[in-house]
Structure 1
Amino acid sequence: MTAVVRPAPELFSLRGRTAVVTGASSGLGARFAVVLASAGAVVFAAARRLEKLKELADDDPRIRPVVCDVSRAEDRVRLMETALDETGRLDVLVNNAGASGAVRAEEESAEDFAGVLAVNLVAPFHLARLLAEAPESGQTRSVVNVASVLGLVSAAPLGGAAYTASKAGLIGLTRELAGQWGSSGVRVNALAPGWFPSEMTDGLFADERSRRWVERGTMLGRGGEQQELDGALLYLASDASSYCTGQVLTVDGGWTAR
């Protein structure tokens, strides 16, 4: 039987799909919500700051704001139930919400360490499981875990023990869930950005010394721009990556290639 060859633009379309994006009130998360909506998805944009989410929704009616603190299990359940109740399906999950923690390990308590893992690792696991347990929609479902190059390499002195551990754990979780759920039609991949502007990296790019550090360590000699993640996100979220699971797509200007 010959497979139907679809036009390339159709492969990246998300028309008729439902997507959930966490950490969507600013930075990369806000951009991710806009990109998925522009590809045709109904996007449930989740974060703690409702006013920021409403601004996104005002610009695109396909974006639905949902107040959610991903560190709270009940909020995670409510988020996924809201998306499922309103559209009858769950197709794409972008686990983007994240916490940074302290830079120096000796300044980070065990409780603080656990708090970062609760947001960066436990929440993505729970949300992914909720998507996998949702009724099948007739389409392959996609989980995109937003990891980081700091899950692959150390960035001392700018790293953080809890943050890097959580992102490395998220990459391991990605591979394991992909292996467990592949036969059920749930693809799980990770997107590992390098240095991009966000609330978390404002200080990095504002400081000339640290900005030059980024430029020296990046083969392209600069930090990334938000729109330079658009294609990678759409690839992993859409049918364009239908034979891709358990992978880490690194978009870092060559940072980890040295």
Structure 2
Amino acid sequence: MDFYLTALLQGFCFTGIAFGIYISMKIFNIPDITTDGSYTLGGVVTGAMLTHNQPGYIILPAVLLAGALAGALTGIIHTKLKINALLAGILVMTALYSVNLTVLGRSNLPLLNVPTIFSVVNFINYPNQNSLVVLLTLVMVLTLIIGYLLKTDFGIAMRATGNSEPMIRALGVNTDRMKITGLAIANALTALSGYLMVQLQGFADISMGIGIVIVGLGSVIIAETIINWLRITSVWLNLGLVMAGAVIFQFVLAFTLNIGVDANLLKLITAVFVLIIVGLPRLTGRTA
């Protein structure tokens, strides 16, 4: 039971990444590889500031700002220098490796006897159950904030930029600014996942973000498959399914390990699972 509870906790931690990928790829149609670097950036900033006894009300804004700056830099390179979005993300991700290593000061930083959000905020005396309540509360608040944002005039302009850039530009919207802002928001959410995961697992590692984009992508694909099957148009339901997709993705990996599959094959299984989810609508004739 604890095995699947851990998967549930990790799924909630990865909700930020799923929301970030949803914004960058599904709203703006931009494949943003900055995710790998900004996730680690959120983690190392959290680890470094926690070990220097910084208060939580300073750490969280610092993490969001760091992720937003990384995303904005990718957006600026893509829009102002006219460089392919995929390449722009790779360039920033590569640069962030050195930044993350400099911030962390070492390749791995344990958070021994360091107070975290899960130890400071106490709803229940049992650690795992308390972490679940804390994460569920944070994820619900995050979902409400993003849902409200996407339904404002600014959010509608963001969605219109991805759907029909020439049309929204003709209406006087600065689409370059929209893309930069959107990528900043997406990577701030990704950094938030790093902030949560480091405190949940108790250490920050320089390689923690390698391949993490597949987690967010898999979560969004699961949600998109359900959305297309049920023909859901509600923004709130879309976000709820993206959150559920992050949890389902972790449950699938947990089930794979639980039945005795070699952990060395986990990345392969992850790739195959995402491939099946991507190909399933086409195999059944239900394309988006």
The structure that is strand-richer by fraction is 1
TM-score w.r.t. the length of structure 1 is: 0.32
The structure that is helix-richer by fraction is 2
- Higher RCO (C-alpha under 8 Å, 6+ residues apart): 2
TM-score w.r.t. the length of structure 2 is: 0.30
Look at both structures and tell me which one has the larger radius of gyration over its CA atoms.
2
